Homo-oligomer: A and B are copies of this chain.
Amino acid sequence: MENLQQLARTTFSNLPVEKQEKIVAAAVREFSRHGYKKASINTIVRDAGISKGSLYQYFHNKEVLFVFIFERFTLLVKKAVAEQGRSNVARAREGESATAEQGRSSIVRARDGESTTAAQGRSCVVGAGPEHDFFSQVGRVLLAGIEFIDRHPDYFQIYLRVLFEQDVPMREKLLAQVRLFSREYFGPLCQAGQKSGAIRSDIPLAVVIFILDATLDRFLQSYAQGALDRDLDLGQINREELLVQVKLILQVLKEGLAVYGNSGNRVV
């Protein structure tokens, strides 16, 4: 037993949790501010209040440290997705009855409140019909993303940095673990949507996914770093307005930009 511990002694996970967290926090801060390459190990050890030698005893090199941090991010994402999925399943089980209200995220709950009060006669995005599930699921995914950013802004920044830095060590592999709204996640959703008749099936699945992915990803990027978009400037926005924006965007995705009558010339 001492042998096993000897092997494990010097590893990071055997440190007191408090120290672990300080190191992680410092690394997350630095990587989120500067991406991989420009992030400074010196800064990290200074912020973490440890010596450089110690850091290199816990992590073989910069790359290992970075991958470790990024994997914490993917874990958080997986957890968030799982939660979101669970609440979706629960929602489906409860059906249309407005009594569903268990331990879900605050923002999603807030949106529910909105939609139930506004669900008298007007039906914008959250209306009756077979497409209800699809578009409100998409909406919930988006809101889950927003909530994730609220909870873990630094980690999301790291994700964005990896997304746009070319020479991050395991870039492809890391991104593959996560790709927020990519085919693996939206694929089944959209496929089901097409099957159930919620969304049109004359558009190739890839194109459907592309547009959803592009819009939602961009929305989250804008939310995460308000500077990017002058158009909708999220970030300075309050929660209610944010929900309005989400609704409008989903509405456009669903109904298109053309005025109602003009969509009549579609090939059916």
Q: Which residues of A contact B (CB under 8 A)?
A: 33-34, 37-38, 122-124, 127-131, 135, 160-161, 163-166, 172, 179, 182-183, 197-201, 203-204, 206-215, 217-219, 222, 227-232, 245, 248-249, 251-260, 262-263, 265-268
Contacts and interface: CB of A to CB of B under 8 A. Distances in A.
B207 A259 contact: no
A200 B232 contact: no
A253 B203 CA distance: 12
A234 B183 CA distance: 15
A112 to B, nearest CB: 20
23 contacts: A33-B166, A128-B265, A129-B262, A129-B265, A131-B262, A135-B258, A160-B164, A163-B228, A199-B259, A200-B258, A203-B252, A206-B231, A207-B245, A207-B248, A208-B257, A209-B231, A210-B229, A211-B215, A211-B252, A214-B214, A218-B218, A254-B263, A255-B256
Contact of A215 (B128, B214, B248, B265): B214
Q: Tell me the number of copies of this protein.
A: 2
Given A199-B259, A255-B266, A207 B249 contact: yes
A257 B203 contact: yes
Contact of A263 (B33, B206, B209, B260): B260
B257 A253 contact: yes
A182 B232 CA distance: 11
Contact of A200 (B217, B222, B257): B257
Given A130-B262, A203-B257, 14 more contacts: A38-B38, A172-B227, A200-B257, A200-B258, A200-B260, A203-B248, A207-B249, A210-B219, A211-B253, A213-B231, A252-B256, A253-B256, A255-B266, A256-B263
A181 to B, nearest CB: 10
